[in-house]
A and B are shown apart, each in its own frame.
Chain A
Amino acid sequence: MDNIRRHQHQESFVSGIISNNPLFVMVLGTCPALAITTTMEAAFGMGLLFLFVLVSSNVLISLLRKIIPEEIKTPSNIVVIATFVTIVKMFCSAYLPALYNSLGVFLSLLVVNCIVLGRAEAFADQNGVFDSFLDGMGNGIGYTLALCVIALIREILGTGYLTIGVIFTFIPYFRLPVLKALDGSYDYSMNLFASPMGGFVVFGLLMALMQLWNLKKKAAEREAAIAKIHLAAKEGA
């Protein structure tokens, strides 16, 4: 029984990161993923704020699931999510103003983010607090990782640099020349990747890679299942 429960907890956490990644597999939350992934720092900041909103709203919605009448579940969920987004906005504006300005309207749009609303309706409304917490963590980390991977590729290819310390001003400013020299002696950067079109290209390629990985994994699992059946049949004979 304990093993089954542990497996459930593990599944709640891990599935959101890889096999059911909200961005690459479920294709949810694509607007901010394309708009704010021009720099690694902005993407990471967005990911952290998203993680906080998702985990907090999942936990609170799960806590309230038996109190809230069925007919007002959706409006209640939206109020809870909007509350956490407003709180995050206020803290971000006060203590991380550069991140706040960089994210712009996409921070407010977390209220109507499909992932947050989707996890609230599909998971937190039907599961316990701990599982909902793990589900929020898994999906939040999965989304953050996805944003960071897209941003890393776009920033390096689009600007030629990897820059740190512009948005998180408490970190010392650092610019790593990857495709473009600091003195301008060489420049292999491609502006296309800094534009929305470049975002679509990177997103599409990463989605394809993720699909390939998932298909290969499924094929391997099928092979293993068939081999198991053959072995059982042989032993039976």
Chain B
Amino acid sequence: MKIAATERQRILLVGGALSLIGGVSALLIGAVNALTAPVIAANDLAAQETAMKAVYGDFASASSPILIGGSSYVSKFWVALDQENNALGYIYRADGKNKYGSIALLVGVYGASSSPILGRIALISDTETFKEKLEDGYVDPYNADPTATNLGDTTCGATHGATLIEDMAVEAKGIYDGSVAVTFTDASGSSYTPSSVSYSSNVNSGSSPGSASVDTSAGGTVG
């Protein structure tokens, strides 16, 4: 089938106009991204540090992050240290999405690898539609109770968001005790299989965190 010259011209005009608009938009977005990306990264880092302090009250510093592969939500973890360089526990970073928005959080896990204990949860970002209900009815009550080690009822008025947080916490605990199969990569890029990672040698085995001394370099603490 042959396309008429006028039709071809029309197609080219429409294609050209769309390409022009798309190109200009891409340039504009690229320029603004180059301008704002470092500021956004610095904001995220500051928010992450604040969140780490919320997970462990005695938090002073963290080891280099260990990247986690093959998991649904958890992307990395750190060993949290107090001022005397004692290990407080692990901090896991988890990101999740559902139809109401997305959540990024840090969750603490400590104790013996055979019976891990869930620490506090700190939200880094929460774009859920029912974020107030989720935070006031689910996250805040758990964090406010120092004796609580299990998350509450997910039917808090923001069931989907609460279930997402619960799933993230369960996965972090699973990675800690080895029941969730994942891969680990340290700061130098070396990969480890889960079986080569010894948790209990790094984090105290008692129920209250903060006794074991930890080498702050990632390679020394894990693997």
A residues in contact (CB < 8 Å) with B: 35, 38, 64, 67-69, 71-72, 75-76, 79-80, 82-83, 86-87, 90-91, 93-95, 97, 101, 104-105
B167 is an interface residue with CB less than 8 A from chain A: no
Alpha-carbon gap, A90 to B43, bound state (A): 12
**B29–A86 contact, CB under 8 A?**
yes
Q: Would you give the shortest CB distance from B104 to chain A, in whole angstroms?
A: 10
Give residues 92-121 of B contacting A (CB, 8 Å).
100-101
Q: Taking CB as reference atom, which chain A residue is nearest B10? A: A69
Chain B residue numbers with a CB within 8 Å of A95 are: 36, 39
B155 is an interface residue with CB less than 8 A from chain A: no
Q: Would you give the shortest CB distance from B150 to chain A, in whole angstroms?
A: 27
Alpha-carbon gap, A72 to B28, bound state (A): 21
Q: Taking CB as reference atom, which chain B residue is nearest A90? A: B36
Alpha-carbon gap, A87 to B128, bound state (A): 21
Given A83-B25, A87-B28: A35 and B129 within 8 A (CB)?
A: yes
Contact of A38 among B28, B35, B40, B132 (CB under 8 A): B132
**A97–B14 contact, CB under 8 A?**
no
Q: Taking CB as reference atom, which chain B residue is nearest A76? A: B21
**A104–B129 contact, CB under 8 A?**
yes
* Sample (19) of A-B pairs whose CB atoms are under 8 Å apart: A67-B17, A68-B21, A69-B13, A72-B14, A75-B18, A76-B17, A79-B21, A80-B21, A82-B25, A86-B29, A93-B43, A94-B43, A101-B126, A104-B101, A104-B126, A104-B128, A105-B100, A105-B101, A105-B127
Alpha-carbon gap, A166 to B156, bound state (A): 25
Chain A residue numbers with a CB within 8 Å of B40 are: 90, 93-94
Chain B residue numbers with a CB within 8 Å of A82 are: 25
Q: Taking CB as reference atom, which chain A residue is nearest B29? A: A86
Q: Would you give the shortest CB distance from A53 to chain B, in whole angstroms?
A: 13
Alpha-carbon gap, A104 to B91, bound state (A): 25
Give residues 11-33 of B contacting A (CB, 8 Å).
13-14, 17-18, 21-22, 25, 28-29, 32-33
B residues in contact (CB < 8 Å) with A: 10, 13-14, 17-18, 21-22, 25, 28-29, 32-33, 35-36, 39-40, 43, 47, 100-101, 125-129, 131-132
Chain A residue numbers with a CB within 8 Å of B17 are: 67-69, 72, 76
**A83–B126 contact, CB under 8 A?**
no
Alpha-carbon gap, A86 to B28, bound state (A): 10
Q: Would you give the shortest CB distance from A184 to chain B, in whole angstroms?
A: 18
* SS of B interface (majority): helix
Most chain A CB within a 10 A radius of its CB, from B21, B125, B128, B129: B21
Contact of B14 among A64, A71, A94, A104 (CB under 8 A): A71
Q: Would you give the shortest CB distance from A72 to chain B, in whole angstroms?
A: 6
**B47–A97 contact, CB under 8 A?**
yes
Given A90-B32, A91-B36, A93-B36: A80 and B43 within 8 A (CB)?
A: no
**B25–A97 contact, CB under 8 A?**
no
The 8 closest A-B pairs by CB, nearest first: A104-B127, A94-B36, A94-B39, A83-B25, A90-B36, A87-B32, A105-B101, A97-B43
Chain B residue numbers with a CB within 8 Å of A93 are: 36, 40, 43
Extra A-B contacts (5), CB below 8 Å, given A64-B21, A69-B14, A94-B35: A71-B14, A79-B25, A90-B29, A101-B126, A104-B129
Alpha-carbon gap, A210 to B72, bound state (A): 50
Q: Taking CB as reference atom, which chain B residue is nearest A86? A: B29
Q: Would you give the shortest CB distance from A109 to chain B, in whole angstroms?
A: 10
Q: Taking CB as reference atom, which chain A residue is nearest B22? A: A79
Q: Would you give the shortest CB distance from A61 to chain B, in whole angstroms?
A: 10
Alpha-carbon gap, A101 to B40, bound state (A): 13
Q: Would you give the shortest CB distance from B44 to chain A, in whole angstroms?
A: 9
Contact of B18 among A35, A72, A86, A94 (CB under 8 A): A72
Chain B residue numbers with a CB within 8 Å of A91 are: 32, 36
Chain A residue numbers with a CB within 8 Å of B131 are: 104
Q: Would you give the shortest CB distance from B102 to chain A, in whole angstroms?
A: 8
Q: Taking CB as reference atom, which chain B residue is nearest A196? A: B130
Q: Taking CB as reference atom, which chain B residue is nearest A82? A: B25
Chain A residue numbers with a CB within 8 Å of B13 are: 69
**B28–A83 contact, CB under 8 A?**
yes
Chain B residue numbers with a CB within 8 Å of A87 are: 28-29, 32
Chain B residue numbers with a CB within 8 Å of A104 are: 101, 126-129, 131
